[in-house]
Amino acid sequence: MIGRERETAAVAGLLAAHRLVTVTGPPGAGKSTVAAAAVAASVSAGWECLVQVRRQGSAPGRPGDLAADLVTRLTGAPPAGPVAPERAARALPDAPTLLWLDDVDPVHDECVRLVQQVLLRAPRTGVLVTSRRALGLDAERTVRLSGLRCRPAPEDGEGPAPAVELFLRHAPTGHGAPDPESVAEVCRLVEGLPLAVELAAEQTAQLPVRELVRLLRLSQTWLAGPRRAHRRHRSLRDAAGSAWMLCDTAVRTVWARASLFAGSFTETSAVHLCAGGAVEPAQVPSCLVQLAAHGVLEVRGEVGAVREHRYRMTRLAREFGAERLTARGEFAAAALRRSQRWGQVAAEAESLWERGAQSRAVRLVSEEYEELAALFAHACTEPSLAPAALQTGLRLWFWWVACDRAEEGADRLLALLPHCDGSPLLARGQWLAAWLSARTAPETARALLDDAWWASVLAGDTATVGRIAHVQGVLALQEGDARAAAGHFQLAADTIPAHAPGGPPATLSLAALALAQLRYAPAAARRSAHRALAQAGLRQDAWVCQVARYAQACTDHGLGRPGRAWQRARRALADTDDGLPATHGTSALRQLLADIETGSPARLELPAALVPHTAPLPAPRPSDREIRLGRGPAPA
């Protein structure tokens, strides 16, 4: 046993104290192995008899099959015809007995009835069950298995993580020591599932581990080991298929359609994506529960809690479901529904941002980030979905700018724009891509602005015209031409209509105007900063408000009022919205405070709100799809 010592001890302890224990988990998790180890550890528990019944095959069994197998095991002779659960229970010996019903998924319903009769009619018998899902009986105690840990922990000492140790145990010898980092990556890609780890290790007889990593990043259902005793363990596709065979038509349909989810998802999103045809919306929640019971889905959060729980499909189940979805010819329709759903999510997030609920907007996008990323990636390969994806990306302008995702946002927009010629959204996409590229690729930004300017003027889109002027001001300010920048910012502030959706308000341009004027006309800068802070509705926009307050503090410092500037900067920092990213707008304020406290002259730092930049993205999980498009390869 590798990495299952805790679970084995838990099963053995429960067997000593309870009459019914079930070991559950997804296909290939090692349920039978853990059960066997627990039985071996329980030899001193007083059992006089051990009766093991193991189901063979993956197809659903006939009524009476499990009871007949039990009678055959007890008597040595197969009965003629079906056997009632009561008869099988009465056939158990009148002695301390442990009945081990192994791998009963094909006869799950009959197993429930049989165990009920055993508990009722054989009081000296305990029952151990291995199954993907629990029986659901009151007396039942369950131990659920998941993947092995892929990263070392303090309890491992100097040794490798359990999944890595299992891989090394099963890897053929004579091929040299494999690269530890590559082995850990293999285990991570298969989510530590013991069967998958063992099958992957066997592949190293023909493949270097690094090549194995490359192939597993594409897919894992091809992993196979034909010499295994049980057919469903001979490949990962067979393991997933054994669960598929036990699902009814509606559950299979939901499984296939839900395979489009790249990350965690809510029941509401699943209903939108999975309902249709023979599957009614009211059926989807129960199908999700059944898939979770089979180990196809993981449940995150508490079912029935105030905050909606979320599901996440295992990578193996996702790949298998996507194969079935494609074979059914439903992929295109499901992808269209996904595009519509996350377009709605982006619209809701933008609405929350504009109504002042900016923390909620950021949280919503963060929760749905994997799905949005998968949507953008797929739209680049399916041009018919590109305009809708571009609109979704435009609605997320605040996410790219305020949450330090400028480079990623620019990459995604630049990848979509070539597929959107003739779209009325093209000019807006060019403006936003230019703003997001202003820091890292100013020449690209200028070219985009030139194209967007004429299209916006001809279309009479004054909001985009004003926002183009704002980005031109940013570019001029980066080059040190404060007077030209001020002219652009003034034009933007005068042109952007009040409450214009789809981008920053004119207040941001007024704050930028103050920062530009401060370099050559401090008094005018102070008036512009006051104008920015006097704009209606500013207090509902914590993001722009902080930039305006920074501009006001800078003008005070520039006019020789360091005490007032220090107080304004401190108050602005204290009022920062904790729900927004930690780097949001605070670095410029902290730098200003440091300059004041050390007596240094004002060093005007352009806030991220004016020149969007990029913060490091979190490391991708094994189930993450490739989501970086556009300029250059993904970082290592």
Residue 210 lies in a domain: yes
pLDDT confidence bin for 578, thresholds 50/70/90? low
Q: Which domain holds residue 257?
A: 247-329
Look at 170 and 61; give whichever has higher pLDDT: 170
Q: Are residues 175 and 98 in the same domain?
A: no
Three-state DSSP class for 381?
coil
Instruction: Answer with the one of 302, 329, 356 that is the final residue of a domain.
Output: 329
What's residue 635's pLDDT? 36
State the average pLDDT over residues 161-182.
Answer: 85
Residue 298 per-residue DSSP state? E
Q: Mean pLDDT in the chain?
A: 88
Tell whether 439 is covered by a domain: no
Amino acid 431 reads W
Let me know if residue 577 belongs to a domain.
Answer: yes
Q: What is the pLDDT of residue 125?
A: 93
Tell me how far apart the alpha carbons of residues 372 and 349 are, in angstroms, rounded to a whole number.
12
Maximum separation of any 2 CA atoms in the chain, in Å: 102
Alpha-carbon distance of 492 to 505, in angstroms, equals 9
Same domain, 582 and 557: yes
CB of 147 closer than 8 Å to CB of 29: yes
The answer to whether residue 602 scores a pLDDT higher than 90 is no
Instruction: Provide the pLDDT for residue 43.
Output: 73
Range with lowest mean pLDDT among 322-326, 534-538, 613-617: 613-617
pLDDT at 587: 79
139 and 168 together in one domain: no
Domain stops at, among 121, 144, 167: 144
Indicate whether 208 belongs to any domain: yes
What percent of the chain has a predicted confidence (pLDDT) above 70?
91
* Co-location of 91 and 166 in the same domain: no
* Cα–Cα dist 473/243, whole Å: 59
Same-domain pairing of 10 and 138: yes
Cβ neighbours of 134 (radius 10 Å): 17
Burial of 187-221, coded b for 16+ CB within 10 Å and e otherwise, reads bbbbbbbbbbbbbbbbbbeeeebeebbebbeeebb
- Spatial CA neighbour of 466 closest among 500, 443, 440: 500
What Cα–Cα distance (Å) separates residue 367 from each residue in 524, 530, 627? 43, 37, 16
Q: If you write DSSP's letter for every residue of 217-283 in order, what string do you get?
A: HH-STT-B-TT-SSGGGSBHHHHHHHHHHTS-HHHHHHHHHHTT--S-EEHHHHHHHH-BTTB-GGG
pLDDT at 605: 62
Pairing of strands 265-266, 310-313: antiparallel
Q: Are residues 231 and 262 in the same domain?
A: no
Question: What helix, strand, coil percent values describe the chain, rounded to 5?
Answer: 60, 5, 35
Q: Are residues 251 and 233 in the same domain?
A: no
**Structural domain contains residue 440:** no
Could you tell me the pLDDT band of residue 634, with boundaries at 50, 70 and 90? very low
Tokens of 21: 């224990």
Alpha-helix residue ranges (DSSP H) falling in 403-505: 406-416, 426-437, 442-459, 462-478, 482-495
d(CA 221, CA 323): 10
Q: Does 45 share its domain with 140?
A: yes
Radius of gyration of the chain from its Cα atoms, rounded to whole angstroms:
31
Same domain membership, residue 113 and residue 220: no
Answer yes or no: do 199 and 284 share one domain. no
Chain centroid to CA 438: how far? 29
Q: What is the DSSP string of 612-627?
A: --BPPPPPPPTTPPP-
Q: Which of these three, 329, 352, 382, is where a domain ends?
A: 329
Identify whether 298 is part of a domain: yes
pLDDT in tens, 123-133: 999 999 999 99
Domain assignment present for residue 519? The answer is: yes
Give CA–CA dist 21/15, Å, rounded. 6
Q: How many domains does the chain have?
A: 4
**pLDDT value of position 631:** 31
Judge contact between 315 and 622, C-beta under 8 A. yes
Flag whether 614 is in a domain.
no
pLDDT at 23: 96
pLDDT value at 251 more than 70 = yes
Q: Are residues 297 and 215 in the same domain?
A: no
Give the DSSP H or E segment for 141: strand 140-144
User: Of 287-301, 500-514, 620-634, which range is least confident?
Assistant: 620-634
- Write the single-letter amino acid at 99: L
pLDDT tens digits along 25-67: 998 999 999 999 999 988 767 788 999 998 876 667 788 889 9
Alpha helices in 25-179, H assignment, sequence order: 31-41, 65-75, 85-90, 108-121, 162-170
β pairing state of 20-24 and 140-144: parallel
At 579 the pLDDT is: 64
- Say what the pLDDT of residue 76 is: 86
How does 480-519 read in b/e, with b if 16+ C-beta sit within 10 Å? ebbebbbbbbbbbbebbeeebebbbbbbbbbbbbbbbbbb
- Strongest mean pLDDT among 43-57, 347-361, 609-623: 347-361
Q: What CATH number corresponds to the domain at position 58?
A: 3.40.50.300
* pLDDT exceeds 50 at position 344: yes
Q: Are 74 and 167 in the same domain?
A: no
